[in-house]
Structure formats: C-alpha cells, structure tokens
Amino acid sequence: MITTFKSCSKVRILTGGHFLGRIGDFIFEDDSWEIRFYLIRKTGLFSSRFIIQPSTLGDLARGFSTGGLSVERKPLENAPSLETHRPLNAQFVPGESIYHWPNYPDAGGIWGVAPHLSGIFTNRESDRKNDLHLRTKRDLIGLEIHSRGIPIGRVSDCLIESENSMIRYLVIQDQKFHSGRYLLIAPDWIESLSYQDRHASVNIDLSLFETAPSYQPRLGIDRKTEEVIFAHFRRSPYWTEEKEAAA
C-alpha cells in the first residue's frame, strides 16, 4: 500500500495494549530513498522521542484498519532515546561506524546535538567522506523542484510504500502551471539535489509537467494510477526495474 506520510503519522503506536505515541518523522537514505528509522513521539506524563527501525513496526498499513500498530515492549526498551548520547550509527548501521555526527554539547537534544533532526548532519567534507546520505523528512518538505532550470513547485509531502518503507513519490505543489494543483514525481528522477540551496533538478520536458495528471490526496493511489504517471513522464516503472534486477 502506498500512502502519504501525513496518513502514516496518524497511526497509533501501541505496546501492551496501551497507547504509546505516533510517528513524528523519519530518517532515510537519499541515494536509495529507503527509510531507515522512524522517530516515535511518546506521549504521556513523561513525554519523549525515540528512534526505531521500520522492521519493528512492520507494515504500516495494518495500523489504518486495526486502529493502531502493536509493538513489543523489548524493542522499545532497546530503542535509542533522543536524550541519550550514544551515536545512532554505532547501534544500528551494519558494519563499521561510518557516519560522523557533529557534537554540540550545550545544545541538548539528540546525542548532545540540536533537537531538530534536520540540524544533526554536517556538511564538512571530512565528515561526509563515507556518508550514508541520511536525511529527515524536514529536509524534503519545501524543496523547490526545477525542470531544466525552471522552478515547477515545492515538495509538500511524500508517498511511502508501507510494506517496505520506501519513498515512492514526492508530492509537488504546482506553482508554475496550475496554482494549487498537486503532482507526483518519483524521487529516482532527481538528477541533482542541494539541501543547502533548497532545490532539486529533474530533466523532464516542461510540457509534460504542464499536462501531467493531477494528484488528489483524498483519492489515494493505486497501480493503475502509477502506470498512468510513469507512462505520461515516459519513464520505466520501478516495479519493472526491481523485477528485472531480481531476475
């Protein structure tokens, strides 16, 4: 099932039959567009935030039909809190510790760095030598999408495949051709991206954006709709490419 992150953030996370919190953000790799961690906002008398892997939650779509996702208590006990000071990559990323986290001991928040996750990544070349390209949802929202140098619109949300936590589409609010209209593009179509300048570029004819099918969030998206989108933009569907890669 493919759904918006806004919908995913409404799913109730339960443990032992008790309401724990909701998904507040995610951390993904911007070279594979795979979500590596979800940030859970814990509610209650002692509210807190912590990070868990998608495999702990399973298929997010189950939470839409059942009213919540039940999570075992043990994985939550081992999940890093945003108040701890142990590097995330040292706990969960396979292999050697290859991501360098900047340290701001007076800032508070996650591992002694700024509490806003979008501020925990360093742009220093020495620190990004073996970078996993980890980014958060906040890095995506508001990015201006350019097509052959012409701004088309800004990212307002993203569509996530609930079974495998892949970012399948970016929701673009059209600011060029039809004000207020929403479009979908696959993140793999992005050819260059600058978080510092807040824009990303695709090499797609402007006329295709002008005549692109509109995305209506309330109607959702199915495989037929996906086929129309990929055919319109003259791109190979990801499911075909993935099937060929697996063969």
pLDDT at 43 over 90: no
pLDDT of 50 over the 80 cut: no
- Does residue 235 share a domain with residue 196? yes
Q: Decide if pLDDT at 34 tops 70.
A: yes
CATH number at residue 35: 2.30.30.240
Q: Which domain holds residue 123?
A: 2-137
> What CATH number does residue 179 fall under?
3.90.50.10
On whether both 178 and 96 belong to a single domain, the answer is: no
Rg for the chain, CA atoms, rounded: 19
The first and second tokens of residue 199, run together, are 């824009």
**Domain boundary, last residue among 111, 137, 163:** 137
Same domain, 122 and 165: no
Tell me the CA end-to-end span of the chain in Å, nearest whole number. 23
pLDDT at 84 over 80: no
Domain co-membership, 9 together with 130: yes
Q: What is the number of domains present in the chain?
A: 2
> Do 146 and 197 lie in a common domain?
yes
CA distance 138 to 116: 9
Rounded CA separation 175/194 (Å): 20
111 and 7 co-located in one domain: yes
Q: Say what the pLDDT of residue 5 is.
A: 86
Percent of the chain whose pLDDT exceeds 90: 33
Integer Cα distance of 180 and 140 in angstroms: 19
pTM to 2 decimals? 0.75
Joined together, the tokens standing for residue 76 give 């939550």
On whether both 107 and 175 belong to a single domain, the answer is no
- Of 56, 78, 82, 81, the C-alpha closest to 69 is 56
In this structure, the answer to whether residues 190 and 79 fall within a common structural domain is no
